[in-house]
Structures are given as structure tokens and as C-alpha cells.
Structure 1
Amino acid sequence: MSDSSFEDVEKVAQHKNEPGSEHLTQQQEDLLEASEPPFTAHEDDDLEANGNGLRQVGTGAGASLHQVPSSKPSVNNIRSVPNGGTKAWLQVLASFFLFFNSWGIVNTFGTYQAYYETGILADSSPSDISWIGSIQAFLLMFVGAITGSIYDAGYVHSLMLVGSFLVVFGQMMLSLASSYYQVILAQAICIGIGCGCLFVPGVAILSTYFSTKIATAMGLAASGSSLGGVIYPIIFHRLQPTIGFPWATRVIGFIALFGLGISNFVLRVRTIPDSRRKFLDLPAFKEPQYALFVLGTFLGFMGLYVVFFYVQSYAIETNIAGDNMSFYLLSILNAGSIFGRIIPNFIADRTGPLNMIIPCAMISGILALCLIASHSLAPVIVICALYGFFSGSFVSLPPTILVHLTANRAMIGTRMGMCFTVVSIGLLIGTPISGQILNATGFPQTWVFGGVLVIAGSIVIGASRVAKGGWGLMVKV
């Protein structure tokens, strides 16, 4: 039985009662313990025999304590996870629109980068402009990490309402911006914080409705970020020349309002941790598989968005394509990412998420390096489509992997928060550094920077996989 799957819980439970059950592995024992329903101690005076086999063993002061099932759903009760049904899949829909209007907005920034360089921020350098997108992505991850305790306390809908307001309000304020600091306040800070408030509900809600199908559910939901990265740039590109930057930005705000309205209406909390989670779980970094995965993800995300931010400018400045066709490169990239978030995640439920993310990340880094030798439109289009596909899995699989790397499901939020905090630093500094490299040396060195970091990240995650599952190639990890 794989330690990364909950499919054999019943078999392990049956095995426990058979002769030789003392030979259960520690992983099997941990899984069985996690699958048991929660119990609370009660002093029973008149407990009658019932279908659960509970019976009275004493009265008054001498009554003994019994184990009785708790009526409160537990985050650790794996047997109660639906893994399907209308309500569970509606949560995927809610999470889809949360991703659509958080990561989908972040994935759109490449279009804004190209517009700002010749539009309202033409006096700013590409590196300065890229700080807007990197701060936005940083706040999405960082705020998402620190709002986990709010989610655990049960204020899920309050968190979503605040996030929805900030995203829409930020879009409306961006439509009025005409200077660099105004764009920073509206697009980077306001929208970034709003996206961060939406990120935790979008990720955490699925882990309470799915266990064996968690990667598939997460992939379907995360595809919303790619679809947002396709639709929003097209809307901006088509509307900005005709109705202007202000109204093009407002239209995106109204679409976000509609999608987030669906999420707020549909999302339902099934269970929250029995107590507030710890804000930090520092001993987790003593576990090689967790520490190496966090480091690898940090390196990967530091280089991953270089292509997203600069491929459009690359095609324009090197005369590979005109303004119109160059714009569609970002949409092609995000369109490929839609399939990259669904297909590899579906396969990951069978192969193991760590086994899936490593080759996808490695190929993403190689594709970024291939841009160095791409001097015509056709290869750039092919690279964008493939880069979108393989990088999509690198973005969508980490939450699933963190679930599998955490034995105590009540600590999933804490460990995700710590990982996302570290990764947010990579997002913050990666694209501005690449912007400085672009200013100093040009695009080839920029692609080297992004590609080498993603490849390095895949290698370190490979070490995490070995620490978790050993060297066996056929082990599901």
C-alpha cells in the first residue's frame, strides 16, 4: 500500500484484526489511526445498548468512561470524506472561480507589462514595472499563508467577502490610476491582498471534500487560474484600444464580481480543525522530504514566471511578431496551462504527485532555455504552448503534495502556510531580478536565469521524492 493514498484504509483496518497484525508498518498504523472516527469521553448513567455496540457498564459515581462517536466532523476522519457527490463537486466549482480571480489575474500581468512599457508607465523600466506583478503574486501567497488561522477559526465566508471586495475594488481603482505609485497601490497591493484572502479557501476547502481524488479535484479547480489567464488578457487587448484603459479594466472588475459571487454563494464548509492550528510547525523542516520540497518549490517559482512576464515583450522587441500576434503568446501559454493543470493532476492520483511534478518541472526549465535559440514565430508558439502545459502542473500540484507529506491532517494548513510564505519570497524577487538582467544583458541571459532556476528546483524536489519514497522508480510517491 502506498503511503500517498488513502484507498486501502478498509483493507488495513481488516488486517488489524487478523493474526499477525502486529506486523503492520508504521505508515499503515498512522493511516489507520487517521481513518478512525473521533471519540470523546462521556460519563454515562443510562446508556442503553445500541447499533454501535455501546452499553452501560455502571451508574452513578462508579460509572466508567466510554468512547462514543463525536457528532462533530473531524478533519482527521478520512472515512467521512465524500470524495464525490453534488455538494463536493460544487466546491470544485467554487474553488475554480476563486482561482480564476486570483491566480488568473496574476497570470494576466504579462499583458499589463507590455502595455505599461509603452503606455501610462512608459517612463519606468521593465524591472520597475515587473515589481507590480511580483508584489501582487507575493501578496497572494504571503497573505494566503497568514490568513490560514482565520480560515481555521471558521470565518471562511468573511475571508471570501473581504477578498472579493478588495479584488473588485482594486480593479476599479486601477482604472483611475495614471502614475506608478497609484498602480502599485491598486494593482499590486489592493488586488494582491484580495487574492491572498481568496487563495486559502480555494485550496483548503477541497482537502475536506476529497482524499483519493484530491489531485484531480485540485487540477480542475486550478485550471481556473489558467482560463482566467486566457480570457482576461483577450478582454483587455480587445477592449483597451476601443474603449480605453479605464473601462477595459472596469469590465474585468465586473467579470470578477460575477465569478466571485458564484463562489460566495456555492462554497460550504464541511469541517474545520477541532482547534486553531499552530501558526508555525518548525520541526517540519527537520523532515528532509518537506524541507527539500519547500526549497525546490522556492527555486522553481523564482524562475517560473520569467516566461509569463517577458515572452510578449520578447516577441515585440525582437520583431518575431507584431503587437497583435505577440499578445496572443500569453493567451497560448495560459491555454496550454489549462490542460497542464488537469491532465497531469489526473495522472498524479495514480502515479503519485511527486512522481509527476519532477519531470514536468524539468521540462519547463528546458523549454525556457529553448527560447534562447528561438528567433521565429513558429518555435516560440510551440514553446509557449508546451511551457504552459508543463508549468501548469508545477503550479497546481504543490498543495496536493503538501497534503501527502503531512501525516497529521490537522497540520496541513500550517505546513502549507509555511511553504507558501517561503515560496512568496521567490515570487517577489524572481521577476525583478530577471528584469535587471534583461536591462543589463538582454533576453538570452534572462531565459537562462529562469530556466536554470526551474531545473534546479526540479532536482531538489527529486531529492525530496527520494527522501520520501526511496530510489525505486515504480514507487507511488
Structure 2
Amino acid sequence: MPFNDGSATTSDNDKSTAGNAAAQQPLRPHPPPNGGLTAWIQVLGAHFLFFNSWGLVNSFGVFQTYYQDDLLKLSNASDISWIGTFQAFLLVALSVIVGPIFDRGYSRTLIIIFLAQGLTVGLGTGFIFLPSVAIVTTYFTTKRALAIGITASGGSLGSVIYPIVFERLQPRIGFPWATRVLGFISLATLIVSIAVMRTRLPPPKQARALLDLHAFQSIPYSFYSLGLFLSFAGLYIPIFYIIIWAQRHANVDSTLSFYLLAILNASSIFGRIIPGLIADKYGSLETAIAYTLVAGTLGYVAIVIKNLGGLLVFAILYGFVSGAVVSLPSAIVASLTPDMKLVGTWMGQSFFLAALGVLIGSPIAGTSINVPENKFSDGFIFSATLVMAAGVSYCLAKALKTKE
């Protein structure tokens, strides 16, 4: 019988201990693929989520005009705009809840429409908006801005299709069935997103807090979040009012003025994709600064436009630059977040501030816009000033980020 000094047993125990230790260590996820079928299918699914969130919100201009001229003609522009801004507010504000989940005196008719459109549409779109960009960001690093740009272009495509469908069907089948058709389109396209979208990173074992207030100790992040609030407060004022502005200010007929909104939103499709290509090369924040300052400048130029030609040029240019302004924030916040496991929470906090801007911007501008008297200039100046201030805040965020 051979002599056993215990060394073999010790060696076996060491191997067993090492194996147990390795088994207890969490597996690190593979690096983002930056392409491939699975990654780009996520972009497709997220594209349709944007189609049915921002696509609906950016279509409110056609509802603003319909309500102003028909269903709510006794209400003023500011009161009606609360419907659109509240649904946009919920869309973005719910990010502060959905983000951590992802990481882990008016007329009766006005009140009914506010609840049916402002509240319910806002709640529904709010729960699909942030996951669309948060999932995509985990699949890309080198092509992140482009992927998010393609995703965000779904919002532009939706805001082209939905107003056209509504404008064509509403006179023929009535308001109730026209809105039901919009719902059927949403259902069909959302089924695609449900079928293909998958999270890449495993969920954390411990639930995180709803807020990560330590994020605001990052000064670049704080200035960028302030800029989001300012830009979203001002950016949507011309979009909400472009149809009624064209009709009353430039005497454009109702059909052609409606298509100005479609042209603006169609232009923003390219404004969400092309700047993404530029941002991947030169930086998302740098690209956002340039386009935000141009958007503010166009807001000032708008007050001197008095004819159809000028309106067409404005719609094309403003649609393009506004597309860049609203599509780049996700990539920027991701670049400012130190840990991708917190990206949903950090996005949610920033987007909540942006939501506050959307909520108050157009109604405040509406108090200075007098549609019957054809007075729009004060509202557009207010819009442009807010957007320019956002550009300045972005510049400060960039300067401070560079010093870090």
C-alpha cells in the first residue's frame, strides 16, 4: 500500500475551493457587439417604440389645430396646449420611474380630452420611451449615437404618418374612428417591438434606489441636465403651433399648412440619423451644442417669416436641427454615466427635468400668443431664448467635462 502524506488530498481540496470561488463570482457580460443581427434587431424594435411614443407626441400640432377650430374652439391656445404638453411630460417624466426599473375651471369637454389624450397617452408612451433607448445603448459603444439616431427616427416617422392618417380620415369617418385607426396602427407596430427586443445585461441582484442624487455631484451632468430642461421647454413651441401659425400669420390654406408639420417631421428623420454619424466621429455633446444653437437662431428668424416660401424653409431646417437636439441626449447621458448599470437611472433623472420643460414651455408661450389677433412673435422669442440658453448650458457642461 503506497504511503499517502495527505498532499494529494490537500491538492484536491485546493482545486475544489478554487472551483467554488469561481462559481460564486458573477459572470461578466460580454462586451457590446457594436453590430450584428441581434443588436440591429433591437434598434428596429426600439424604432417602433419611438414611432408610437414621440411619433404621437410630435403629432399634437394637428390636434391643436383641430381642437382650436372645432372641438374646443371656445378655449384659448394656452389651455389646449396643456393637453399636448402633459402627454409629453408624462412620456419623459416617467423615465425617472422606468429608469430604475430598467436597471431594475375648464370646460367638461376639455377635461375629458385632457384625461383621454393627455393622461392615458402620456402614461402609455412614458413606459415604452426610456427602455427603447436604454436597451439599445447596451448593445453599442462605437456606433451608439448612430444606433440611437436610427431608433429616434421612429418618432419622426410616426409624427409624419399619424397626422396624415388623422387629417385624411377625420373628415370622412369622424374624430372617434380616426383616433381608433391610430390605435390599430400602434398595436400592429408595437407587436414587432414586443417580439424582438431583449435586454443584454443581467438584472442586478439588489434593487436600486429610485434616484441617484449623487449623479448631480457630477457638475457636467448637472449642467447638461439643466440644458435639457431649457431646450425641451423651448423646442416644441414652434412644432405645436406651426399649423395655426401658418394659417393665421401667413394666410396659408388649411391643407397646405397641415403638410408643413409633416414636412418638419419628415426632415427630422434625417436630423436624427445624420447627426448621429457626426456625433460618433466628433462627440455627441459637441454635436448637440452646434445643433442647439442653430435651433435657437432659427427661432429668432421665425418672427420675420411672412410667406409660404419662408415657412417651407423654416419647417425643413427646424425639423432637421430639432431632430438632432432630441435624439442625442441618450448617447450624451450614457457618455457621462460612470457605470452603465446606472444608465437607466441617470437618463431617467435627466429626462424628468426635460419633461418639466416640455410641460411648462408651450403653455407659458401660449399666454403670449394671441391667435385671433395674429400675435405669435412673443411666443417664438420666448422659445428661441430658452433654446439658446440650453446651448450655453451645454457649452459649460463640455468645458467642465474636458477639465475632468
| Fold-level similarity (TM above 0.5) | yes
Shift of 1:279: 1.8
* CA offsets 1:253-292 (integer angstroms, 9 cap, x no match): 1111100011111112222342433322212212111010
Q: What residue in structure 2 maps to residue 208 of structure 1?
A: 138
* CA offsets 1:296-323 (integer angstroms, 9 cap, x no match): 1111110000011111111111243110
Shift of 1:149: 2.9
- Partner SS state of residue 179, structure 1: helix
- Partner SS state of residue 201, structure 2: coil
**Cα distance between partner residues in 2 of 1:57 and 1:148:** 48
- Give the direction of change, closer, same or farther, for the CA distance of 1:66–1:190 in structure 2 (3 Å limit): same
- Partner SS state of residue 344, structure 2: helix
**Cα distance between partner residues in 2 of 1:63 and 1:72:** 16
Query: Conserved in 2, the CA contact under 8 Å of 1:304 and 1:391?
Result: yes
Query: Conserved in 2, the CA contact under 8 Å of 1:57 and 1:64?
Result: no
- Give the direction of change, closer, same or farther, for the CA distance of 1:69–1:352 in structure 2 (3 Å limit): farther
Q: What letter corresponds to residue 432 of structure 1 in structure 2?
A: P
* CA offsets 1:8-48 (integer angstroms, 9 cap, x no match): xxxxxxxxxxxxxxxxxxxxxxxxxxxxxxxxxxxxxxxxx
- Give the direction of change, closer, same or farther, for the CA distance of 1:467–1:249 in structure 2 (3 Å limit): same
Q: What letter corresponds to residue 54 of structure 2 in structure 1?
A: W
Does 2:258 match 1:327?
yes
- Partner SS state of residue 271, structure 1: coil
- Of 59, 81, 99, 2:13 maps to 59
Q: What residue in structure 2 maps to residue 145 of structure 1?
A: 96
**Cα distance between partner residues in 2 of 1:202 and 1:410:** 16
Shift of 1:414: 1.3
- CA RMSD, aligned part only? 2.2
Q: What letter corresponds to residue 219 of structure 1 in structure 2?
A: G
- Of 45, 49, 62, 1:111 maps to 62
Among all aligned residue pairs of Structure 1 and Structure 2, give the percentage whose two residues are the same amino acid.
45
Q: What letter corresponds to residue 101 of structure 2 in structure 1?
A: I
Query: Conserved in 2, the CA contact under 8 Å of 1:57 and 1:63?
Result: no
- Give the direction of change, closer, same or farther, for the CA distance of 1:233–1:66 in structure 2 (3 Å limit): same
Q: What residue in structure 2 maps to residue 367 of structure 1?
A: 298
- Of 439, 451, 456, 2:389 maps to 456
- Partner SS state of residue 215, structure 1: helix
**Cα distance between partner residues in 1 of 2:212 and 2:15:** 41
Q: What residue in structure 1 maps to residue 202 of structure 2?
A: 272
**Cα distance between partner residues in 2 of 1:243 and 1:348:** 44
Q: What residue in structure 1 maps to residue 36 of structure 2?
A: 85
Q: What residue in structure 2 maps to residue 418 of structure 1?
A: 349
**Cα distance between partner residues in 1 of 2:266 and 2:27:** 39
Unaligned 5+ residue runs, structure 1?
1-55, 154-177, 472-477
Q: What letter corresponds to residue 138 of structure 2 in structure 1?
A: T
Does 2:279 match 1:348?
yes
Q: What letter corresponds to residue 445 of structure 1 in structure 2?
A: D
Q: What residue in structure 2 maps to residue 377 of structure 1?
A: 308
- Partner SS state of residue 235, structure 1: helix
Shift of 1:94: 0.4
- Give the direction of change, closer, same or farther, for the CA distance of 1:193–1:62 in structure 2 (3 Å limit): closer
Query: Conserved in 2, the CA contact under 8 Å of 1:230 and 1:334?
Result: yes
**Cα distance between partner residues in 2 of 1:316 and 1:253:** 28
Q: What residue in structure 2 maps to residue 97 of structure 1?
A: 48
Does 2:22 match 1:68?
yes
Q: What letter corresponds to residue 59 of structure 2 in structure 1?
A: T
Consecutive aligned runs of 4 or more in structure 1 exceeding 3 Å deviation: 60-74
Q: How many residues align?
A: 390
Query: Conserved in 2, the CA contact under 8 Å of 1:216 and 1:346?
Result: yes
Query: Conserved in 2, the CA contact under 8 Å of 1:277 and 1:411?
Result: no
Q: What residue in structure 2 maps to residue 197 of structure 1?
A: 127
**Cα distance between partner residues in 1 of 2:202 and 2:366:** 42
**Cα distance between partner residues in 1 of 2:199 and 2:354:** 27
Shift of 1:142: 1.1
1:13-412 matches, cutoff 5 A: 59=13, 63=17, 68=22, 74=28, 77=29, 80-153=31-104, 179-274=109-204, 275-412=206-343
Q: TM-score w.r.t. structure 2 length?
A: 0.92
Q: What residue in structure 2 maps to residue 24 of structure 1?
A: none
Query: Conserved in 1, the CA contact under 8 Å of 2:149 and 2:273?
Result: yes
Query: Conserved in 2, the CA contact under 8 Å of 1:277 and 1:413?
Result: no
**Cα distance between partner residues in 2 of 1:67 and 1:244:** 67
Shift of 1:395: 0.3
Higher relative contact order (CA 8 A, sep 6+): 2
Query: Conserved in 2, the CA contact under 8 Å of 1:73 and 1:271?
Result: no
Q: What letter corresponds to residue 126 of structure 1 in structure 2?
A: A
Query: Conserved in 1, the CA contact under 8 Å of 2:96 and 2:210?
Result: no
Q: What letter corresponds to residue 61 of structure 2 in structure 1?
A: G
Query: Conserved in 2, the CA contact under 8 Å of 1:152 and 1:272?
Result: no
Does 2:396 match 1:466?
no
**Cα distance between partner residues in 1 of 2:266 and 2:192:** 23
Q: What letter corresponds to residue 244 of structure 1 in structure 2?
A: G
Q: TM-score w.r.t. structure 1 length?
A: 0.78
**Cα distance between partner residues in 1 of 2:82 and 2:285:** 31
Query: Conserved in 2, the CA contact under 8 Å of 1:130 and 1:435?
Result: yes
Unaligned 5+ residue runs, structure 2?
1-9
